[in-house]
Structure 1
Amino acid sequence: MKKSVIGSSVALGLFGALVIADQVINDDLIVTFSECVGNDCVNGENFGFDTIRMKENNTRLKFDDTSNSGSFPNNDWTIVANDSSNGGANYLAIEDATAGRIPFRVEAGARANALVVEADGDVGFGTLNPAVDLHYVNGNTPTLRLDQDGSSGFSSQAWDIAGNETNFFIRDVTNGSALPFRIRPGADESALDIHADNDIGIGTSSPDARLHVNIKGGDEPSFLINQDGTADSTQFMVDSDGQVGINTDDPKAQFHIVAEGTQTFRITDSTGSHHWNINIDTGGNLNFSKAGSGTTELVLTASGNIVLNGNLVVNGNISCTGTC
């Protein structure tokens, strides 16, 4: 009986040692069906279509490169599934194990076709069938953000490039989300065209000047400057007939000025020392005055009379048909 007990104890000890020992296989290992690795694998595991399954509360696949020559690459990589801490995030990631950072990460719940690379190299975001090199699909205002985060010592600045049914625009996110640039759907061909010589065309693909405006007809002005939020705010315009208006949106002649205040024209000499002002007053009189004189030197009245605030000097003859 004593020998039997001793023998059983030895057998159990040997069996236990075999169970907990690492298995080293010095030849090819071929698994005909499926393989499960991890503490939670069970006998009779239902693999479904899985060929290899990792099953436990922390799953990692480590690529540990043991190259020790300076001429061979030896960086280590890990495929990581989920955080290992309680309350951590759910994701699949590729970790640069040597550097200790994650360059690629897909969070659980990401939408279908969040990233698709076609055989021809086209990349799709949100689409299974990208039609161009980079194709982004979203149900509301697809947007690309350019975000300078200050990490290189430069001031933080963020810009958005986006488009929707209303406009294509650039948004200054940092400064109140202002939209300094917009293109509306349906804009004409070459609505804005910049040539290699920096000539700018508006409505033309062949600008012949620094700014070349080509209109297709109609009554809209070729050029217009106005003041936002001000009634009768047109400050300068060129209409479709080539007539120029200042302070009017309806020029009646090739050059039409609507007076604002007491100065309509100012003429200055080459030295910048002498100035003459010309204007029309509310009585219809045309006035000429030297700036700073405090008076009007010459008036051409609405009735055709000339009024001088000074002497009339004539070096030639004077003729008149009425009383002189």
Structure 2
Amino acid sequence: MAIRNSRLRTVAFGATALVALAGAASADQVITDDLIVDGSICVGMDCVNGESFGFDTLRLKENNLRIRAVDTSNSGAFPTRDWQITFNDSSNGGQDKFSIDDIDAGRTPFTIEANAPTASIYVDDGGRVGLGTGSPVVELHVVNGDSPTMRLEQSGSSGFTPQTWDVAGNETNFFVRDATNGSNLPFRIRPSAPQNALYIDTDGDIGLGTASPSARLDVVGSGEMQSLLLADTTGTPGVRGLLTMTNEGGSFITMENTATSKSWFFTHENAAAGRFIISRSDSDGDDAMFVGHDGTFRVGGDGSAAQGGMSLDAVGNLTIGGTLSQSSDKNAKMAIVPIDGSEVLEKVAALPLSSWTYKHDAQAGVRHIGPMAQDFHAAFGTGHNDTTISTLDTSGVALAAIQELNARNAAQQALIAELSARITQLEETIAD
């Protein structure tokens, strides 16, 4: 026991002597064996005899504090990088900090400033990282009193245009902020947004309200009218595309009413004709609408003019398989005044009539008979302009002229009957 105590006293004395000798800078001490200190160690120009360590095991004490690791490897591919732990800047007015320096590269990859809040960075026993919390519940948990934010900044140091994005969230919304361009918020999600409000499937299909989109864009609603609103409100002049859908081959948009199990299809035909078709799921084509690549528009008749329905070609020729009905309800009219049939008949009699061909029908040589719109408008003053004639107006003019002719014919017949009676009476008188 005496030998052991003697050794402890010798070690303790040696440690004290090292501190004293270091302070006196009388000579470097080289120890060629392991050094075991049974107690605390103070290293630095300001260590004093009788230092009060408290619970400190190793204390660095002076006005410039550094711990440098110098790797002397000099062969093969062994790493040789030197590192340093720096406590505060050495310059007057410098930064209070704790940092790790890459000495060989002249860089400082890690720094903690003085007064950083508790749990600024916290790694728990499950490997979860907390920023601002000592109780992270996910792999990366960020806590802040107002709009916790992550910034992605492209500095321009690699030659690319500087750009800064923020990803943040608060009680109003989760958002992406374009911090470079006016801090606009191009993407936002409001709290309590419904399940699968926006869903992108493994094949790129997008679901709005569904986790099982069955088309490139599948919109599913529940209990209320759902719509996809496309609007350009920028006020920017010029042509702007609001929605582009591209597919290799035919494509279609389905609007399904799950309450009735009925659907409507907006279809780009997968055939040589390449028509745009609007039809219902239970349709046989008779109530479908067809738009051809040549500008024709057809309703019903399976898209064929020969099958009835209605057909409007690109130059305005309208063919219908039924009747043409125009509104003439007296309840929809005002400023009703009678017409002078005699005046109408005189204008009809004076109206120039011709046989002619529309310029767009010149090659086909299709002929028509009728007045020129300018002459008709000058005579009767009807219609929106002097380049078109309403069939309702031509019918009205024709009826007015017919009525006047009928009235004149009736008067003539009455006169003929009267004259015939006189002649008969005269003949009877002569015979007597």
Give the TM-score normalised by the residue count of structure 1: 0.68
What is the distance in 2 between the residues matched to 1:297 and 1:209?
46
- The 8 Å contact of residues 123 and 133 in structure 1, kept in 2 or not, is answered as yes
Q: Deviations over 1:63-89 (max 9, x none)?
A: 111111133211111100011111110
1:267-278 to 2 correspondence within 5 Å? 270=294, 276=316
Read off the aligned partner of 1:121 and give its amino acid letter.
G
1:149-298 to 2 correspondence within 5 Å? 149-218=155-224, 220-226=225-231, 228=233, 270=294, 276=316, 295=386, 297-298=388-389
For these two proteins, the number of residue pairs brought into alignment is 255
1:144 is aligned to 150
1:48 is aligned to 54
Structure 2 unaligned spans of 5+? 1-20, 236-254, 265-277, 279-290, 297-312, 319-325, 334-358, 360-372, 374-384, 396-405, 407-432
What is the distance in 2 between the residues matched to 1:205 and 1:269?
36
1:258 is aligned to none
Read off the aligned partner of 2:139 and give its amino acid letter.
D
The DSSP-based 3-state class of the residue aligned with 1:20 is coil
Give how far 1:224 is off. Answer: 3.0
Q: Deviations over 1:177-231 (max 9, x none)?
A: 111111001111111111122222111111122222111113x44233456599x
Read off the aligned partner of 1:51 and give its amino acid letter.
T
Mapped pair 1:93 → 2:117: no
What is the distance in 1 between the residues matched to 2:234 and 2:126?
53
What is the distance in 1 between the residues matched to 2:180 and 2:68?
42
1:299 is aligned to 390
Structure label with greater radius of gyration: 2
1:24 is aligned to 30
Give how far 1:270 is off. Answer: 2.2
2:412 is aligned to none
Which structure's residues are more often strand, by fraction? Answer: 1
What is the distance in 2 between the residues matched to 1:163 and 1:42?
53
Give how far 1:119 is off. Answer: 2.1
**Considering only aligned residues, what root-mean-square deviation do their CA atoms show, in Å?**
3.9
Structure 1 unaligned spans of 5+? 1-14, 231-237, 245-253, 255-266, 309-322
- The 8 Å contact of residues 81 and 92 in structure 1, kept in 2 or not, is answered as yes
Read off the aligned partner of 1:27 and give its amino acid letter.
D
The DSSP-based 3-state class of the residue aligned with 2:101 is strand
Q: Deviations over 1:223-264 (max 9, x none)?
A: 33456599xxxxxxx9x999x9xxxxxxxxx9xxxxxxxxxx
Give how far 1:36 is off. Answer: 0.5
Give how far 1:162 is off. Answer: 0.5
What is the distance in 1 between the residues matched to 2:203 and 2:387?
50
Alpha carbons of structure 1 residues 306 and 216: separation in structure 2 relative to 1, 3 Å: farther
Alpha carbons of structure 1 residues 66 and 201: separation in structure 2 relative to 1, 3 Å: same
Read off the aligned partner of 1:24 and give its amino acid letter.
V
Match of 2:127 among 98, 121, 126: 121
Alpha carbons of structure 1 residues 215 and 268: separation in structure 2 relative to 1, 3 Å: closer
- The 8 Å contact of residues 166 and 185 in structure 1, kept in 2 or not, is answered as yes
Q: Deviations over 1:283-318 (max 9, x none)?
A: 979xxxx9xx97553536xxxx3548xxxxxxxxxx
Match of 1:71 among 69, 72, 77: 77
1:262 is aligned to none
Mapped pair 1:33 → 2:29: no
The DSSP-based 3-state class of the residue aligned with 1:223 is coil
